[in-house]
Structure 1
């Protein structure tokens, strides 16, 4: 009997004991389903988290003047304070970056501001920010009522504003603020839009206590000290983030004219610290899921070995006949190993299929995400099945190959 004939004989044996084969394969499939299902669910949830954080700026980074707004220390000594990023420098950076990234420019105009509408005024806790045409989308601000700034308003520095929901509720008592005027910082502004309610942001009110004006308008307003402009660069492809940050460093050094050998006069801050924490959590979930799947597979392998041992006992007479006809111990081992591997592989295929479906179903209950097929875990699951078949089937196959043909023929 050659290997091909041995495989055919093993398959015929499986077909003749179909019910036992199905039950044994189910034991393995449950173990693989738990392993692949948990890992698929984790991957799908991670993908959903990545997409959510991407929309919140996980694929972006901010460029600010070093030490201008927040003084810092180096080795216990006060760090050097560099000049602010000027409007011209920010525009040069944006022009050089071109279409490789979506760049927004902004400047903090005032904090603790009072905004008025007639005799009604807010508390002195309003922030005023100036931004360009990409500012709203890069900061993930959505206009609930009204519209964003028009091109002419941005280019001409019109006295228009987009207000947070808390400001609109306070000054206009539930009515739409769009088309009305507000007074702040010595100027009157026409409200063209109202932002969606965002809730508190670390106690600061988030976008609810924010007034956004065009960048040119903010640049023209009187102030006590020079504005420093903040640059946010949004990368459309996450895998290009580190390359883009290195490229931005080179552009900013050129724009700021930092001498060769001198440290950067600016800071680049990534916006994905929370995403890193979530990735660590999903990593722990994968380890936990893998342990649960391993324990289940361990139980499945013990069950498979027990069933194969029973199969050897039931087919003792058949083994004696095969040996009497010239089958070698190696061929007998091959036959039982092939049976064990095929049973595990069939169970593994079913387990992978149900595991992928179960994992995506669990992920869809937690949050909206794409249908994920984790090919790595599919391949690992099938390889584990083959390994379980080899390990669980080897001892029964070895025992079958050592049976004495005379004693086997006498077995009842």
Structure 2
């Protein structure tokens, strides 16, 4: 009996038991939907993280007085905190770091939860007020939609000017030009000289909820009595990254007057290190998704095996007739294996489609973009075939071993 004939018989059997086939295929579809859905959303989020942090400057690194502070589960390590980086130290580094391909920016948070007001309108108290210099536009990965960057006079005198993010612009000036408008930050008034382009929710950390003012002015209005400053360095040539980090480490150790034997009391992190840390921790979620999917598939395989055993019992006389007219045990075995595989593929195609749909909807809701997970589609189809083979093997072997005389007498 050819493969086509076996497939034709399998289709006839599936059509004759629609409800049983539907319930079995549904279990398999749910398992693959969970597997493909979770893995698709994680892959989309990974791509979004890499894209986001590359927009922040793939060829940059940051000098700060503490670690990133990311802790996942009990295995997380509490970040070290060293003495604050003072304004004098940060400016000394900026003035002395001599690399033609480097752009150095100094910034500090004046406030992390401010309310911005314009007339009767005001924002939620979740706006980051950042004091920065004119180089932050490049090292922070921002682009101007309107207006201009800080001038040399703005930086030297600390004038009351600001560049705002898109969320502030949309909240306070939804239908008008924001340039040259006077807004209130805390107890001070600032004139808007620029508006950043939209960064989107995927940029995280309030990319559009930011208000940048000259760093000199931030020193005057900071709500911290001992603020720490962050130094960002962006390179035009990524090949010089390690060399630049080495030079920056040596220079800043010298500025902080550290002896050779003493460890550095600051941290230098690459711009993509945060993304890589988050991606590494997403692996645990990925493993959990694979485990959930395969546990569900195991349950579906057991259910399919039981249903196929029932099918063998119900079709005992049919098997006897086929053997009586010349069907070999191998042909009978293949017939039931093909049937099990086809049921799995029916559920598999539905589960994969739903998994891709749900996974991408979750990813888009979290700010990621649409992704077609070809690797997980292949994995899902492979899992379907393997599940069909494993769950159909015992019933198929039982059918193949039936004695034709006894099978014909079965009632």
TM-score of the pair, normalised by structure 1 = 0.61
Structure 1 position 379, deviation (Å): 1.6
| 8 Å Cα contact 1:162/1:212 also seen in 2 | no
Work out which of the residue numbers 225, 240, 245 in structure 1 matches 2:241: 245
Structure 1 position 368, deviation (Å): 2.2
The alignment partner of 1:14 has SS state of helix
Work out which of the residue numbers 123, 126, 131 in structure 1 matches 2:133: 131
String of CA shifts for 1:148-186, please: whole Å, max 9, x gaps: 136x879x98986644889755233xxxx33xxxxxxxx
Change in Cα spacing, 1:8 to 1:248, as seen in structure 2 (3 Å) is: farther
Larger Rg: 1
Bigger Cα displacement from structure 2, 44-53 vs 8-17: 44-53
> 1:6-17 to 2 correspondence within 5 Å?
6-17=3-14
| 8 Å Cα contact 1:61/1:233 also seen in 2 | yes
Structure 1 position 332, deviation (Å): 1.8
Change in Cα spacing, 1:248 to 1:41, as seen in structure 2 (3 Å) is: same
Considering only aligned residues, what root-mean-square deviation do their CA atoms show, in Å?
A: 4.9
> 1:66-81 to 2 correspondence within 5 Å?
none
The unaligned stretches of length 5 or more in structure 2 are 66-81, 111-128, 165-182, 198-204, 218-228, 255-259
String of CA shifts for 1:193-219, please: whole Å, max 9, x gaps: 6999xxxxx9xxx976952479xxxxx
| 8 Å Cα contact 2:94/2:104 also seen in 1 | no
Instruction: Give the aligned partner of residue 188 of structure 1.
Output: none
The alignment partner of 2:61 has SS state of strand
| 8 Å Cα contact 2:37/2:356 also seen in 1 | yes
The alignment partner of 1:232 has SS state of strand
Instruction: Give the aligned partner of residue 292 of structure 2.
Output: 292
**How many residues are matched?**
327
Matched, 1:211 2:210: no
Structure 1 position 32, deviation (Å): 0.9
Change in Cα spacing, 1:401 to 1:135, as seen in structure 2 (3 Å) is: same
Structure 1 position 411, deviation (Å): 2.4
| 8 Å Cα contact 1:341/1:385 also seen in 2 | yes
Instruction: Give the aligned partner of residue 186 of structure 1.
Output: none
TM-score of the pair, normalised by structure 2 = 0.61
The unaligned stretches of length 5 or more in structure 1 are 73-81, 98-102, 111-126, 179-190, 197-201, 215-228
Change in Cα spacing, 1:27 to 1:169, as seen in structure 2 (3 Å) is: closer
Work out which of the residue numbers 171, 183, 192 in structure 1 matches 2:188: 171
Structure 1 position 401, deviation (Å): 0.7
The alignment partner of 1:368 has SS state of coil
Structure 1 position 64, deviation (Å): 8.6
Counterpart Cα distance in 2 of 1:51 and 1:337: 45
